[in-house]
């Protein structure tokens, strides 16, 4: 069942909820930062969709690099790359969207057009045959243990505004006739990634030094 | 047997001409010329005493085993054209003393084996990336350039306080790489100089250094240093496009480079456009970053020398100086700024 007023500004509760899945806003910032940097650097000579492609491809890859070290798995479900929690608590796909952090909390995010993989994973009780898109045969390209197969799909939503990104996790519940996800059964806010004022990348501690072995003869 | 080579080295270390040495020592110019040019004339005991006193060595220094001086062709000097011949020779004579110093150290200690890769066919940025890969450095800041190079078998030596107009130089001797660094500069600039010399070692190997391609080599070594200290992938991941001054100073502290070097690198990578770069340089200059590094890092020191000199079985500079028949002060110049030594 879709619920309104889910996408509220970030709060400690959101970080706690992310932590339940072993995630944090910082993870998403680390994953999205390189793609955002590349997207912002694109010139007018680049193809129109280059910046969007940078964001999606780079961010998915970096998020995967971060999460696979924690036991997550990358799977491709009907062509949709996803990352599955090691205990099957959640699976993530990336999606650009609009109104991800609209100050009017009644306005909910709306994704770009999504495909059957998302439609098949909507969190609602409506018969799948009534969904607006024709449903092809259900195909999972990767063989997963049973406990991972049922992991609920959440979309990591991102919306670029200049040098910054609005971010959120949303559990898709309804799609409209055009294939946009327009309703959500659950949501978790992620702190905004501000490209101009983000100094957190410089806070990392030293990795340790280099040992110079010197032994008496 | 009296060594003309050692007399020349001791004189050059003091940056003295023959005429000046004659004035200071009271030994005639003609005799000095004969001594240095391997003539039959051998110094008298009195002349030896005068020369030793003037040059800060013991008389038996001139009778020690022959030494093969470091030749200028073997060395990559930065800003060679701006360095006078006497200062260059003084630095090279000190380098020869460093070889003897490390000869003794090597007798007492097992030091890291040299393992500097050679990429002389690659562009500087590609070479820098491959060295990072081979050494498992990823694209993160290098915590300590001196320790990194020492762990790869490089002997890092100080130019001492008397060669402030020379940035750094390097050479191979018996397959061992040596890097001489100006420890009077800021910590950030020392790191860049060391990375620059690493670039020479990686890209220019043991090739003789000819003045004709000096400019190209220096440009390559600079490009290597920038790419090695500030890898493109690392900077791209930090959202540094159009970076503000505040962000540039945060980034330069993170990567442990000078603010000017960081700005130049961002411009090189297209993260600052021409206008942004120019205004950044102007603002940094006004803030004093052109000639110094306000709020800069503590310069790096030597782990190898610390272990050699202050470890449980350490050998003191005095002990080495006695064996080499030189003053501890001269040896102290070689480790100046790299380890604490008595004033």
Residue A184 to residue A174: CA distance in whole angstroms? 7
> Do the beta carbons of residue A12 and residue A195 sit within 8 Å?
no
With 0-12 / 13-18 / 19 or more C-beta atoms within 10 angstroms meaning exposed / middle / buried, residue B292 is middle
In this predicted model, what pLDDT tens digit does every residue of A38-83 receive, in sequence order? 787 777 788 989 989 989 999 999 899 889 889 999 998 888 999 9
Tell me, what's the pLDDT at B237? 84
- Pick the more confident residue, B309 or A131: B309
User: A155 — phi, psi (to 5°)?
Assistant: -105, 130
| Among the ranges given (A113-122, B43-52, B175-184), the one the predictor scored with the smallest mean pLDDT | A113-122
**Chain A hits for B313, Cβ within 8 Å:** 216
Instruction: Give the one of A198, A211, A217 whose C-beta lies nearest to B239's C-beta.
Output: A198
**Chain A hits for B239, Cβ within 8 Å:** 33, 36-37, 40, 163, 195, 198, 201
For the ranges A41-45, A170-174, B160-164, B337-341, the one whose mean pLDDT is highest: A170-174
**Chain B hits for A212, Cβ within 8 Å:** 112, 147, 150-151, 303-304, 307
| Mean local confidence (pLDDT), A12-16 | 86
Mean of the per-residue pLDDT values for chain A? 83
How far away is chain A from the Cα of B319, in angstroms, using its nearest Cα?
16
pTM: 0.73
How far away is chain A from the Cα of B234, in angstroms, using its nearest Cα?
9
- Please determine, for residue A129, whether its predicted confidence score (pLDDT) is greater than 70: no
Q: Which residues contact residue B264 at a Cβ distance below 8 angstroms, ignoring those fewer than 6 apart?
A: B226, B277
**Chain B hits for A198, Cβ within 8 Å:** 239
> Do the beta carbons of residue B87 and residue B15 sit within 8 Å?
yes
Q: Which residues contact residue B273 at a Cβ distance below 8 angstroms, ignoring those fewer than 6 apart?
A: B242, B267
CB count in 10 Å sphere of residue B134: 12
Mean of the per-residue pLDDT values for chain B? 90
Instruction: Give the one of A41, A201, A209 whose C-beta lies nearest to B143's C-beta.
Output: A209
Residue B47 to residue B116: CA distance in whole angstroms? 46
Q: Which of B138, B141, B239 to substitute to test the interface with A, most A CBs within 10 Å?
A: B239
With 0-12 / 13-18 / 19 or more C-beta atoms within 10 angstroms meaning exposed / middle / buried, residue B282 is exposed
In this predicted model, what pLDDT tens digit does every residue of B225-263 receive, in sequence order? 999 999 999 998 887 888 888 889 999 999 999 999 999
Tell me, what's the pLDDT at A194? 83
CA distances (Å), B129 to each of B119, B139, B192, B211, B237, in order?
Answer: 11, 9, 16, 28, 16
Tell me, what's the pLDDT at B338? 94
Residue B3 to residue B48: CA distance in whole angstroms? 12
CB count in 10 Å sphere of residue B149: 28
User: Using CA of residue B311, residue B169, residue B83, residue B208, what is the dihedral sign?
Assistant: positive
> Do the beta carbons of residue B323 and residue B101 sit within 8 Å?
no
> Do the beta carbons of residue B37 and residue B30 sit within 8 Å?
no
Q: Which residues contact residue B234 at a Cβ distance below 8 angstroms, ignoring those fewer than 6 apart?
A: B139, B140, B141, B255
Using the 8-state DSSP alphabet, how is residue A29 labeled?
Answer: H
Interface confidence (ipTM) of the complex: 0.85
> Do the beta carbons of residue B41 and residue B49 sit within 8 Å?
no
Instruction: Give the one of B109, B141, B147 whose C-beta lies nearest to A209's C-beta.
Output: B147
Of A23, A4, A2, A20, the C-alpha closest to A122 is A2
Tell me, what's the pLDDT at A137? 55
Of B299, B286, B234, the C-alpha closest to B262 is B234
How far away is chain A from the Cα of B308, in angstroms, using its nearest Cα?
7
How far away is chain A from the Cα of B255, in angstroms, using its nearest Cα?
9
- Please determine, for residue B33, whether its predicted confidence score (pLDDT) is greater than 60: yes
In this predicted model, what pLDDT tens digit does every residue of B150-207 receive, in sequence order? 999 999 999 988 877 888 999 999 999 999 999 999 999 999 999 999 999 999 876 6
Beta bridge partners of A159: A166
């Amino acid at each position: 069942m879709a619920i309104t007023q889910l996408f509220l500004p970030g709060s400690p509760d959101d970080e706690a909820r992310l932590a339940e899945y072993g995630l944090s806003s910082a993870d998403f910032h680390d994953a999205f930062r390189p793609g955002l940097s590349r997207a912002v650097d694109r010139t007018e000579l680049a193809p129109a969709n280059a910046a969007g492609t940078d964001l999606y491809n780079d961010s998915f890859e970096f998020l995967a690099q971060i999460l696979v070290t924690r036991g997550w798995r990358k799977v491709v479900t009907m062509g949709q790359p996803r990352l599955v929690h090691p205990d099957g608590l959640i699976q993530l796909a990336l999606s650009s969207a609009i109104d991800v952090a609209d100050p009017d909390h009644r306005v909910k995010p709306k994704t770009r057009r999504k495909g059957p993989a998302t439609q098949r994973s909507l969190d609602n009780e409506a018969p799948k045959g009534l969904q607006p898109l024709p449903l092809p045969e259900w195909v999972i390209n990767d063989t997963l243990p049973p406990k991972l197969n049922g992991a609920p799909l959440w979309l990591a939503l991102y919306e670029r505004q200049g040098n910054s990104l609005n971010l959120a996790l949303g559990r898709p519940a309804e799609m409209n006739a055009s294939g946009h996800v327009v309703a959500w059964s659950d949501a978790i806010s992620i702190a905004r990634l501000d490209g101009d004022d983000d100094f957190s990348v410089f806070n990392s501690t030293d990795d340790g030094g280099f040992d110079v072995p010197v032994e008496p003869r | 047997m009296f060594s003309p080579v050692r007399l020349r080295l001791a004189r050059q270390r003091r940056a003295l001409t023959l005429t000046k040495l004659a004035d200071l020592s009271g030994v005639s110019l003609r005799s000095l010329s004969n001594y240095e040019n391997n003539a039959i004339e051998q110094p008298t005991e009195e002349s030896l005493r005068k020369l030793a006193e003037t040059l800060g060595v013991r008389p038996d220094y001139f009778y020690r085993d022959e030494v093969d001086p470091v030749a200028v062709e073997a060395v990559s000097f930065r800003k060679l054209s701006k360095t006078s011949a006497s200062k260059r020779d003084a630095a090279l004579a000190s380098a020869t003393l460093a070889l003897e110093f490390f000869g003794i150290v090597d007798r007492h200690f097992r030091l890291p084996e040299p393992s500097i890769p050679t990429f002389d066919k690659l562009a500087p940025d590609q070479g820098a990336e491959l060295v990072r890969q081979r050494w498992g450095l990823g694209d993160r800041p290098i915590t300590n350039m001196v320790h990194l190079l020492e762990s790869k078998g490089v002997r890092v030596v100080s130019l001492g306080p008397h060669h402030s107009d020379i940035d750094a130089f390097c050479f191979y001797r018996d397959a061992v790489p040596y890097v001489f660094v100006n420890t009077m500069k800021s910590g950030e600039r020392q790191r860049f100089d060391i990375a620059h010399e690493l670039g020479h070692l990686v890209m220019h190997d043991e090739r003789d250094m000819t003045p004709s391609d000096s400019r190209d080599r220096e440009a390559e070594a600079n490009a290597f240093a920038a790419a090695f200290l500030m890898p493109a992938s690392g900077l791209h991941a930090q959202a540094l496009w159009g970076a503000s001054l505040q962000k540039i100073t945060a980034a330069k502290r993170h990567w442990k480079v000078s603010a000017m070097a960081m700005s130049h690198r961002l411009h090189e990578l297209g993260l600052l456009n021409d206008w942004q770069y120019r205004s950044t340089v102007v603002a940094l200059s006004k803030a004093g970053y052109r000639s110094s590094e306000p709020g800069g890092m503590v310069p790096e020191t030597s782990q190898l020398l610390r272990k050699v000199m202050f470890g449980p079985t350490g050998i003191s500079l005095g002990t080495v100086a006695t064996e080499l028949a030189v003053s501890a002060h001269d040896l102290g110049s070689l480790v100046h700024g790299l380890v604490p030594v008595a004033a």
